[in-house]
Amino acid sequence: MTVTLADVAARAQVSPATVSRVLNGNYPVAASTRERVLKAVDELDYVLNGPASALAAATSDLVGILVNDIADPFFGIMASAIQGEIGGPGGRAGGERLAVVCNTGGSPERELTYLTLLQRQRAAAVVLTGGAIEDAPHKAATDAKLRKLADAGTRVVLCGRPQAPETGAVALTFDNRGGGQELTEHLIGLGHRRLGYIAGPLERTTTRHRLEGHRAALAAHGIGEDARWTVHGQYDRRSGYEATLELLRRDPTLTAVVAANDSVALGACAALRDSGLRIPDDVSVAGFDDLPFSIDVVPALTTVRLPLAEAGARAGRIAMGREEAPAGGIAVVRGELMVRGSVAGPRG
């Protein structure tokens, strides 16, 4: 039914071994023979059996990219950059690798299961993107899995995720804390003293780090914390909308709202507008990430730009062994404050 290596061999009048060598090109084969084989491959429309070759060679060309939410451009952009370097077909990489992105949906179980599936497929490399879950048992399980993958020869790279010591994984972490701090300092510098903060889900490292940065800035300027000023939610627009209404309810005198990311900030803007407040005249709004749309909303969003594409590309190269891992297995990627129209000094 399906064409196999043996069929090609028969047609080209050579042994299967020779065909395999022509296809893999890591063994001398006479030019004339190679040509004959290639011709047979073409005529028979032969397609290598991936599983069989992976089994025999004990390696596969699969590279896994784990993302928390593929519908979120934050991950889309990173995934795109990673995949661009992995080569996938057409990449300058040459060796054809199948870069696949796996959507965990932020669920620890799915993350673990995907990791197992990838391990099962003997993936050549795995890149995990975005914040990690801070649940201890889950972290232990994930780390153990990463360790096992690394031991089995799979290259593991963390992109935009904190380092996981002892796992053998290379980490490119974002300086969420520093970025958050810089952003809030900017607001404080403009005179804001009552700042609401819309944080992401509690158990994510990203959430915690950004919030810590925010608080560090407040503390540095002697601004006392008010528990009412922080609300947790998801990393999406709707959550930002609702959280903002809640914030306004708790303290209508806030002069600025800092959001955990740009999508949340968008929701915040909508909520403020719907509440009859002008941005930035009545309330300033800031986001995080600097996703493409952030410059297009009106007023344009003040935010912290994360070099998503650059970091992703680097992670991809490291995963392919095409770039050396940073010293100590970790590199911190800094964000850049983008000051735009959504922020101004407090009214009055």
Least separation in angstroms between residue 73's CB and a second copy is: 6
18 belongs to the binding site for DNA (CB under 7 A): yes
Q: Of the two residues 122 and 192, which places its CB atom closer to DNA in the complex?
A: 122
CA pair distance 104, 98, nearest whole angstrom: 19
Stretch that binds DNA, among 11-19, 216-224, 226-234, 272-280 (CB under 7 A): 11-19
Stretch that binds DNA, among 16-24, 102-110, 126-134, 189-197 (CB under 7 A): 16-24
The candidate with the shortest Cα–Cα distance to 71, out of 255, 263, 241, 252, is: 263
CA pair distance 126, 169, nearest whole angstrom: 10
List Cα–Cα distances, 269 to 71, 99, 101, 284, in angstroms: 21, 37, 32, 9
Q: Of the two residues 125 and 218, which places its CB atom closer to a second copy in the complex?
A: 125
One of 36, 84, 195, 213 touching a second copy (CB under 8 A): 84
140 belongs to the binding site for a second copy (CB under 8 A): no
| 259 in Cβ contact with 233 (< 8 Å) | no
4 belongs to the binding site for a second copy (CB under 8 A): no
Q: Of the two residues 26 and 253, which places its CB atom closer to DNA in the complex?
A: 26
One of 51, 95, 165, 321 touching a second copy (CB under 8 A): 51
Least separation in angstroms between residue 74's CB and a second copy is: 10
Of DNA, a second copy, none, which one does residue 273 interact with (CB within 5 to 8 Å by kind)? a second copy
Residues 224-263 binding a second copy (CB under 8 A) are 237, 263
Here's the x/- map for DNA, 37-56, by CB under 7 A: it reads as ---------x-xx--xx-xx
Q: Is the bond into 280 cis (omega within 30 degrees of 0)?
A: yes
Of a second copy, DNA, none, which one does residue 32 interact with (CB within 5 to 8 Å by kind)? DNA
Of DNA, a second copy, none, which one does residue 216 interact with (CB within 5 to 8 Å by kind)? none
6 belongs to the binding site for DNA (CB under 7 A): yes
Residue 300's Cβ-count burial label (10 Å; 0-12, 13-18, 19+) is: middle
CA pair distance 344, 341, nearest whole angstrom: 7
SS3 for 143-165 is: HHHHHHHHHCCCEEEEECCCCCC
Of DNA, a second copy, none, which one does residue 88 interact with (CB within 5 to 8 Å by kind)? a second copy
Dig out the tokens for 251 from the structure.
């303290």
Dig out the tokens for 295 from the structure.
């410059």
> Residue 207: which region, alpha, beta or left (left: phi > 0; alpha: psi -120 to 50)?
alpha
30 belongs to the binding site for DNA (CB under 7 A): yes
23 belongs to the binding site for DNA (CB under 7 A): yes
Contact positions toward a second copy, by CB under 8 A? 2, 45, 47-52, 54-55, 60-61, 69-73, 75-77, 79-80, 83-84, 88-90, 96, 98-103, 105, 107, 109-110, 112-114, 116-122, 148, 152, 237, 263, 266-267, 269-270, 273, 292-293, 295-298
Contact positions toward DNA, by CB under 7 A? 2, 4-6, 13-18, 20-21, 23-24, 26-30, 32-33, 46, 48-49, 52-53, 55-58
